[in-house]
Amino acid sequence: MLAEDQGISDRATEDMLLGTLDDAAVAELDEAASGAGIDIDLLRSTPARDIRAQIEAVLTLLQDVDHRALLAKQGFFSRLTGADVEARLRFEISAQQVISAVARLREAALAGRRLRRLLAEARRDLDSEQERLQAVIAAAQALLGREAGTDGFARDRFERRLASIMALHAANILTLGQMVLAEGVLDRLLDRCTDVDTLIIPLWQRHAFALAQAAGHQTFSKAAQDFTDTHRHLIAHLEQDARI
């Protein structure tokens, strides 16, 4: 909330504490209760779901990386018929598709980091809003108690407004809890995306290149084992992300 808006709210709260229960008090309660809404980008965005969708896309493509077929096409007959070249080409294409999908995952993670910052700001703003609403509710209840003998249309309106503000305060408590949960889920997903992007994928890509370029039985066997281990580790890591 802007400092100017906070000042207006504080003055309205003070007026309620000092005033009487009339139409002016209803207007002061409305003024004191008004606040900023949640950023529209947060309402329209689903960063955790978007990241999970990209993780699933990467996993699907990883399942299609058929390094076993490449391993099976290394015999004399396969080399004679060119089957080894075809298997190598298929392997290279599927590996490139994985890299392209990881690039899209990286973009989803970047968007998630931006939304994570907005979410933290929104939670801080809502914390401040709760403190303000609590002060408004306390001032309004004090006025109702001080004017206990007052009846009429103004009191009814004031009580309805106060009930709505108290309902908003209660809803904000639930919203803050959901924000904390969302931040936790997003933090874990983003941490794992960083692991994949900065550690696992670069290693996987190097082993994929080594396997595609390997020549000779001993060199090929070592490259195949290294790639298989990294491939399994990458899949296991991403499957863990998908369950968050």
Q: Tell me which of 1 and 209 has the higher pLDDT.
A: 209
List, for residues 118-174, the tens digit of each pLDDT value.
899 999 999 989 998 998 899 889 888 887 766 688 889 999 999 999 999 999 999
| C-alpha distances in Å from residue 36, one per residue of 31, 50, 140 | 12, 27, 20
Q: Lowest-pLDDT range, 76-80, 82-86, 227-231?
A: 76-80
Longest dimension (CA), the chain: 103
Average pLDDT value for residue range 67-89: 58
Q: What is the mean pLDDT of the chain?
A: 82
Please return the burial class of 115, using the count of CB atoms within 10 Å of its CB with bins 0-12, 13-18 and 19+.
Answer: buried
List, for residues 65-77, the tens digit of each pLDDT value.
876 665 555 544 4
The closest of 6, 34, 25, 66 to 157, measured between CA atoms, is: 25
Distance CA 126, CA 106 (A): 30
pTM across the whole model: 0.75
* pLDDT score recorded for residue 77: 43
* pLDDT score recorded for residue 142: 87
Distance CA 173, CA 145 (A): 25
CA 154 to chain centre: 45
| C-alpha distances in Å from residue 200, one per residue of 70, 102, 217 | 22, 11, 26
List, for residues 100-112, the tens digit of each pLDDT value.
999 999 999 999 9
The closest of 74, 92, 94 to 215, measured between CA atoms, is: 74
Which tokens hold the place of 135? 């002060």
Above 50 in pLDDT, residue 2? no
User: Which of the 8 DSSP states describes residue 199?
Assistant: I
Above 70 in pLDDT, residue 12? no
* pLDDT score recorded for residue 9: 56
Q: Lowest-pLDDT range, 33-37, 183-187, 188-192, 221-225?
A: 33-37
Average pLDDT value for residue range 20-47: 77
Cβ atoms of 29 and 16 within 8 Å: the answer is yes
